[in-house]
Amino acid sequence: MPLSVNTGASGPGQLSGWLQVIAIVLLLPVGGILGALTGFVPMSPIFSVLLPLAAATYFLRRDGRRWRQLAFGRTLSGSQHLGFAALALVVVYAGVIALSIVLGLLGLPGADYSLLQQLIQGELAMYLWFLLPVSWGSAAIGEELLARGFLQYRLESMTGAAAAVVLQATIFGLAHAYQGLSGILLTFLVGLVFGTVYLK
């Protein structure tokens, strides 16, 4: 079942669509660098999401579409929303635990969160910055709009639904490369589950 909603507007061609995906991927680190240049560490993850979100918004508007059409294209009841959310959380938690065990058996270290721990340990203000605007803002909302929203939508129009889910999860995983190989694999799994649930 396609993610997109027919608005009467035509989407980009294959080349333009791939260029948009590449632009979003490249803007992730560019935003992070620009945020770091402010000298305030939380701005790096915030800018790394805001900059590509701005570009994705421009691409959508150029095609005559809005974010609402990607996020709320189908009318679901409150219980259906809760059901899908609960399903995603259960599968993600079970999958992360299982994959962590496998990675441990293979001798791979766990995901590396040491940089974040160094920044927030004993620093309440920094902890709150990373908890609220970073975790809940740029990560929980911004990353979902980018990965399961724009990227999955755009990739689906060029590759089909299944490939779009896998590709957006791959991009999502690689965007967390600072967490090491285990972090990439774990966030890939999260992206795969969320992308599949969103698709269904």
Q: If you average pLDDT over residues 8-35, what whole number do you get?
A: 88
Q: What is the pLDDT of residues 160-178, one digit of tens each?
A: 999 999 999 999 999 999 9
Query: Where is 69: in which H helix or E strand?
Result: helix 67-71
Mean of the pLDDT values across residues 43-66?
Answer: 95
- Reported confidence tier of residue 53, pLDDT bands at 50, 70, 90: very high
**Residue matched to tokens 């967490």:** 179
Confidence of residue 13 (pLDDT cuts 50, 70, 90): confident
Q: Could you give phi then psi for residue 7, rounded to 5 degrees?
A: -110, 0
pLDDT band at 97 (very low <50, low <70, confident <90, very high): very high
User: Distance between CA 173 and CA 5 in Å, rounded?
Assistant: 27
Beta carbons of 149 and 157 less than 8 angstroms apart:
no
Query: Do 166 and 156 touch, CB atoms closer than 8 A?
Result: no
Q: Please give the Cα distance from 48 to 139 (Å, whole number).
A: 10
Average pLDDT, the chain: 90
Token representation of residue 114: 């040491």
Q: Is the pLDDT of residue 46 over 60?
A: yes
Tokens representing 62 are: 């150029």
At residue 24 the predicted structure's pLDDT band, cuts being 50, 70 and 90, is: very high
